[in-house]
Amino acid sequence: MQKVRAKFRVSSVENFGWSKTVKANAIHGTEGENGQFTKATPSGQLGITIDKDTEAFDFFAPGDEFYLDMTKCTPPAPAES
């Protein structure tokens, strides 16, 4: 498996002026697509802080739903000293 898709709903957005903190939880539902995501990911939390000087600053609002796609990557090699 190379990637996983989850679905999250924004529960809160806290504005600090210079940044915002977005909190989201795994979607819950019993029917259709939301039921499938609930079965696969019954619990999950996401918290991100967004700097005000970015396009993403006004992107999230409470109640919005998002897919979260996670793709494995190779970490960079440590820098030599």
- In this predicted model, what pLDDT tens digit does every residue of 25-71 receive, in sequence order? 999 888 888 888 888 878 899 999 999 999 999 999 999 999 999 99
End-to-end CA distance of the chain: 35
75: in domain:
no
**To the nearest whole percent, how much of the chain has pLDDT over 90?**
60
79: in domain:
no
81: in domain:
no
Containing domain of residue 48, as a range?
3-70
Residue 69 is predicted with a pLDDT of 93
For residue 32, give the amino acid letter.
G
78: in domain:
no
Residue 55 DSSP SS3:
helix
14: in domain:
yes
CATH of the domain at 21: 2.40.50
**How far, in Å, CA of 36 to CA of 19, rounded?**
34
64: in domain:
yes
Give bridge partners of residue 46 from the DSSP assignment.
24
For residue 5, give the amino acid letter.
R
51: in domain:
yes
- Mean pLDDT score, 77-81: 85
